[in-house]
Amino acid sequence: MSRRYELPDISQPGKVGYSLPTLDMPAAELPPAEMLRSDLALPEVSEAELVRYFTHLSKLNYGIDTGFYPLGSCTMKYNPKWHEDVARLPGFASIHPFQPAGSVQGALRLMFELQAYLAEITGMDGVSLAPLAGAQGELASILMVKAYHRKDSARSKILVPDSAHGTNPATGTMGGFEVVSVPSDDKGDVDLGKLESIMDENVAALTLTLPNTLGLFDTRIGKISQLVHDKGALLCGDGANLNSLVGKARFGDMGFDCVQLNLHKTFSTPHGGGGPGSGPVCARAVLTEFLPSPVVAKDGEEYRLASPASSIGILGAAYGNFGVMVRAYAYIRTLGAAGLREVSENAVINANYLKEKLKPYYHLPYDRPCMHEIVFSGKRQKTQGVRALDIAKRLLDFGFHPPTVYFPIIVDEAIMVEPTESESKATLDSFIDAMKQIAREAEENPEMLHSAPHHTPVRRLDEAKAARQPDLRWRMGNDKERAGTA
């Protein structure tokens, strides 16, 4: 679509898009006049126009159901539609969070079994499904660490590698700790020498994203675990990248004391646009008494909500984002152990395929096998006057959602690509072709990249403003004006 679409002002006085049945009971009294508005500016449109208006808007959006979405760190994979049916079953979708446990035994059983699956998948002893997002699961981990060290107030520091997700240092700070950054070595792993020199009795925990945000697996995780535990500290995992490990390696076996998972990344659920998410926290026996409330327990044949003995408390209303749990349960049950292993194998193969095909064209700061995502640097293109942002914007012209750019921050002009397991070779090949063409354009016609995208309904937006002050409301009369300023 090369033409800019201007929304017609479709409102006309007197048009209606609905019809109500004739009133067959006494009209209710209206509130006092001073509480009523007479000048409510609502569009007057027919039903067909309304449907077309919203359908048009929906087509301006880009989603995983419209195309390839290689947004690194986000695991934007295909979500089986069957999960939507399951999550909408009235027995799941229509129950109230405060119904008596006896009347929601099926839902509680699902949660109980999901807890057990996640414990098995992570090699942990206990699980709470309560956290509402990955970051909140991290917060739960850090509060559990704090509770564990409650008699040892000298433990005031959380160590976080500089290759961590931004939420990791933020979470340490929110937990009231001093966050100390651990540098990476030239291979992209934790610098073990530096870690050893920083590690002391004032450290409460090391938080490790594994694989890290460079998409790399630190094979010395056993040694890291030992260094941390030798000083009496705990090892917290950020398990948001589990899509590369599921069915293959377990956090518990690698020495982690707790880890949060992002169900909305690894175990399906459409995400983006802010949620909903679910970030269960899984813990080894030393920490299970501190897990957030509630957890689901089983007495005989009865399921019930319970609170762990020294729980850090509740993290939100009711018992978490239940619909996300239903989808994760459906995903695990459908794929089974062998299917889950295939997920991580294919996610890793796809990322390595992109790596090998694109490394002649884009600088690869860490040239070694990657996990589920691959981080390039646009620094070669930067010398041609083309920035990572230009490359990302140009990809929109090819019909692709861009990869993550400028993150992780330890890579200059980072371009972080996560293909996920659910894409075909044909799709990966057309993405590779687009990236190759952009690399050529950077040499031959950098100006053209500066003004990209050329074929989208809107061009370059103020993204920070669009996110912080979303302008989503239809306003009478000034539609054309607004379209002109988009």
Ligand X SMILES: *Cc1c(COP(=O)(O)O)cnc(C)c1O
Q: Which residue lies nearer to ligand X by CB, 276 or 365?
A: 276
Selected range binding ligand X among 59-67, 233-241, 321-329, 448-456, rule: CB under 6 A: 233-241
**CA–CA separation, 343 vs 247, rounded Å?**
9
Question: 378: exposed, middle or buried (C-beta count within 10 Å: 0-12, 13-18, 19+)?
Answer: buried
- Going by the DSSP 8-state scheme, the letter that residue 164 receives in this structure is S
Tell me how far, at minimum, the Cβ of 166 lies from ligand X, in Å: 8
Residue from 70, 252, 279, 320 in contact with ligand X (CB under 6 A): 279
Residue from 70, 277, 292, 308 in contact with ligand X (CB under 6 A): 277
**CA–CA separation, 43 vs 46, rounded Å?**
10
Q: Which residue lies nearer to ligand X by CB, 291 or 371?
A: 371
- Helices 167-174 and 134-148, axial angle in degrees (round to 10): 40
Q: Does 207 bind ligand X (CB under 6 A)?
A: no
Interface characters, 247-276, with ligand X (x: CB under 6 A): ---------------x--------------
Tell me how far, at minimum, the Cβ of 196 lies from ligand X, in Å: 24
Tell me how far, at minimum, the Cβ of 278 lies from ligand X, in Å: 8
Q: Region of 458 please: left (phi>0), alpha (psi -120 to 50) or beta.
A: beta
Site for ligand X in 124-183 (CB under 6 A): 133-135, 165, 167
Report the alpha-carbon angle 233-239-240, nearest 5: 140
Q: Does 73 bind ligand X (CB under 6 A)?
A: yes
Q: Which residue lies nearer to ligand X by CB, 340 or 416?
A: 416
Q: Does 417 bind ligand X (CB under 6 A)?
A: no
**CA–CA separation, 196 vs 219, rounded Å?**
17
Q: Which among 372, 378, 360, 386 is positioned nearest to 415, based on CA atoms? A: 378
C-beta nearest to ligand X: residue: 134
Question: 182: exposed, middle or buried (C-beta count within 10 Å: 0-12, 13-18, 19+)?
Answer: buried
Q: Which residue lies nearer to ligand X by CB, 189 or 441?
A: 189
Strand ranges (E), 137-227: 157-161, 178-182, 203-209
Selected range binding ligand X among 7-15, 56-64, 235-243, 246-254, rule: CB under 6 A: 235-243
Say if residues 213 and 164 touch (Cβ distance below 8 Å). Answer: yes
Q: Does 240 bind ligand X (CB under 6 A)?
A: yes
Judged by the rule CB under 6 A, the positions of this chain that interact with ligand X are: 73, 133-135, 165, 167, 209, 238, 240-241, 262, 277, 279
